[in-house]
Amino acid sequence: MTEPAIIVENLVTQYGDRRILDGVSCTIPRGEITVILGRSGCGKSTLLRHLIGLARPHSGRIVILGQDLGGLDEEGLTALRRRMGVLFQGAALFGSMTVGDNVALPLREHTTLEESTIRIMTRMKLELVGLSACEDYFPQALSGGMRKRAGLARALAMDPEILFFDEPSAGLDPVTAAGLDDLILSLNRTFRMTIVAVTHELTSVERIAGHVVMVDRGTILFSGPYDQLLASQEERVRQFLERRPDLIEQDTEAYLSTLLGEA
């Protein structure tokens, strides 16, 4: 078996005294699409920030592409981050730059390539996400779905070995969201790219997930192939998959029936 793209061992994170991730261990396989799943506020984005080396753990170990984050200085960390592409929640494009310049930015910052080469590479990435006609547009002239695609082109600029998404389809209509999911699938199939997507959209999970890491109350509730997640009998997993809300507390129910009784 090939070595995983990322290994997380006993990761603990806290903000002040509040513990957010409490001993998280999981692996992200190479060449697959891994979905990080869980309720709002469970710590998905926090875990993602650790997986890209943006946050230092309180304790625990993270190994990315064979390198232990704990043993890296700032320079080593920067070099490692160049091998990863990230599309944050909301795309985060620079409004004062054209779409083309946004995509070219990582190449201008991190390489010494000629301007003409950078132009060609930028156009290739825009072509890949179906935005070749929009190179000279400013981000405010794009729809939400187009912005995500532009952000994706920028994340792909440096030909990353791992691509990360935070909520790729949030805020998009179902058709546009499905289009973005298909783009993620084709990147994985065409380039065998390792992809990690954080989401809580079950429709999107159904479409793209190969491997699943499910976070719940600061720990890992499930980690494994998507088929196994579907077969899981764990109550918290079933509740999430079946979209069941938490039960109303007894007191609330009693209170409501008194109100109804009085009416």
Ligand X SMILES: Nc1ncnc2c1ncn2[C@@H]1O[C@H](COP(=O)(O)OP(=O)(O)OP(=O)(O)O)[C@@H](O)[C@H]1O
Selected binder of ligand X within 12, 19, 30, 45 (CB under 6 A): 45
Distance CA 110, CA 56 (A): 23
Binding at 131: pick from ligand X, Mg ion, none (beta carbon under 5-8 Å per type): none
Interface with ligand X, residue 261, by CB under 6 A: no
- Which pair of structure tokens corresponds to residue 251? 């007191």
Minimum distance from residue 31 beta carbon to ligand X (Å): 25
Using the rule CB under 6 A, is 15 a contact of ligand X? yes
174 CB burial (10 A radius; 0-12, 13-18, 19+): exposed
Cβ–Cβ contacts within 10 Å for residue 203, how many? Answer: 13
Cross-strand bridge partners of residue 195: 33, 163
17, 41, 75, 233: residue in contact with ligand X (rule CB under 6 A) = 41
Whether 4 contacts 27, CB under 8 Å:
yes
**Interface size with ligand X, residues (CB under 6 A):** 11
Contacting ligand X within 167-226 (CB under 6 A): 200
- CB of 104 vs Mg ion, minimal distance in Å: 28
What does the alpha-carbon distance between residue 218 and residue 104 come to, in Å, rounded to a whole number?
A: 38
Does 86 sit near ligand X (CB under 6 A)? no
Choice between 184 and 215, CB closer to Mg ion: 215
3-state secondary structure of 218: coil
Instruction: Report in angstroms how near the CB of residue 40 gets to ligand X at its nearest.
Output: 4
Query: Residue numbers of the site for ligand X (CB under 6 A)?
Result: 15, 20, 38, 40-46, 200
